Structure 1
Amino acid sequence: MDYQIKQMIGDEETHRYVLASRCTRPLVVIGVNPSTANEKHPDPTVRKVMGFAELNSYDGFVMLNLYAQRSTNFKGVHNKRDEILHQNNLDAIKEFFKTYNDLDVLVAWGNLIYKRNYLLDCFRDIANILQEKGRKISWKQIGELTKSGQPRHPLYARYDFGLKNFDIDSYL
């Protein structure tokens, strides 16, 4: 799969809301927070997402995150949620997906969700937006959940784990 970005919503330094490749059948991925991927270069997580997408017959990806703050080290992510940043993330996601009817959504944040007490609420908000207007969502996870019950982060998962259905109702 070539790295051809159709749209990046955000900036190079502080935040990224959406990173979308040119495609007709994307795998939508919800990670924890963006690192360095931009319109020109993927980061290791996005490279791994591209591999999972290609191996599962998607022709591209849309990368979202629970929290839009860019940080190469999770220790740098805000301890307290920035409400404006969070609302801007939700608004960008809502606007981006307004013309989509059906989505395959891979949840992929690993145990990092435990590192900030606001991240589960961020997921609830994003899930509610994606499920608006009767949109049909096929929720996916990589392999089995972690021992602590979280969907695996793609960077730390082998391709042979495959994609499995994710039970969002039990999770939330």
Structure 2
Amino acid sequence: MSDREPLPRLRGGTLDGSQFDTAEHDGSVLVVNVWGSWCPPCRAEAPGLRRVWDESRADGVQFVGLNVRDTDAAAIAFERRYRITYPSITTEESGEALLALRTMLPPNAIPSTLVVDRDGNVAARVIGRTTYRTLRALVDDVLESANGAAKSKEAVDVRSDAG
């Protein structure tokens, strides 16, 4: 990725029965994670994602998961096991969201994570499993740039840093 691209609008029903719409989070830093309960790297990264969510939501950071190729029962069990409390759009509804992201994410890049700045542009993309350290640094960089630090128009592209 080079210049920051705007995140397409993502919306759909969530695993807890509510609705999620990125338009309701305009002006927030947003982390979008594509995952499936059947995916070993997704299981490995879940504790780090939860930790960054727990630490950053007081700073106005919102997370949303896009659950893919899963049953709702398996996805809900995954969220319970890893104590994930941020919303995830269901497999049934995530197809449209994934289609909207087709220019930003390879179709089979599971897991993948996007960090979106307060202007709604993708500031960072991680293809493959992320770690707490990597995601925390990316979120902190976006928060700092939103708080008046020099703002780069370049997006960060990270290939999985985890084995």
TM range (shorter): 0.3 to 0.5
Structure-2-length-normalised TM-score: 0.35
Structure number with the bigger relative contact order (C-alpha 8 A, sep ≥ 6) is 2
